[in-house]
Copies of this chain bind each other. A is one copy, B any other.
Amino acid sequence: MLRIAVLGAGRIANIHAANVAAHPDATLVVVADPWREGVDGLAAQLGCEAAYDCAAVLSRDDIDAVVIGTPTDTHIDLLLAAVSQGKAVLCEKPIDLNFAKARAAAQAVEREGGKVMLGFNRRFDPDTLRLRQAIDAGQIGAVRQVIITSRDPGLAPRDYLAHSGGILRDMTIHDFDMARHLLGEEPIEVGAIASRLVDPSLAQIDDFDSVMVLLRTASGKQCHINCCREAVYGYDQRLEVSGAKGVLLTDNHRPSTLRHWNHEHTEALEPLQHFFLERYADAYRNELGQFIQALSAGRALPTNMRDGLYALHLADCALESIKTGRMVEVNYAI
Contacts and interface: CB of A to CB of B under 8 A. Distances in A.
Given A222-B226, A258-B249, A244 B232 contact: yes
Contact of A256 (B130, B230, B264, B270): B130
A221 B247 contact: no
Find the residue from A144, A252, A269, A272 having the highest chain B CB count within 10 A.
Answer: A144
Contacts of A197: 142, 144, 220-222, 244
Contacts of A265: 260, 265, 268-271
A247 B216 CA distance: 27
Nearest to A213: B214
Nearest to A129: B256
Given A193-B189, A247-B261, A256 B139 contact: no
A267 interface: yes
Interface string A202-225: 000000001010101000111110
A34 interface: no
Contacts of A259: 248-251
Given A195-B220, A260-B248, A260-B265, A228 B242 contact: yes
Interface string A166-206: 00000000000000000000000101110111100000000
Contacts of A126: 255-256
A233 B230 CA distance: 31
A327 B269 contact: no
A144 B232 CA distance: 13
Interface string A250-294: 111111111111111111111110000000000000000000000
A93 to B, nearest CB: 23
A269 B131 CA distance: 12
Interface of A: 22, 24, 45, 126-127, 129-131, 134, 139-140, 142, 144-145, 147, 149, 151, 189, 191-193, 195-198, 210, 212, 214, 216, 220-224, 226, 228, 230-234, 236, 242, 244-272, 321, 325-327
7 contacts: A193-B216, A212-B223, A251-B257, A252-B257, A265-B265, A265-B271, A266-B272
Closest 10 pairs (CB-CB, A-B): A195-B220, A246-B262, A268-B268, A265-B268, A251-B257, A233-B261, A325-B327, A130-B256, A247-B261, A249-B259
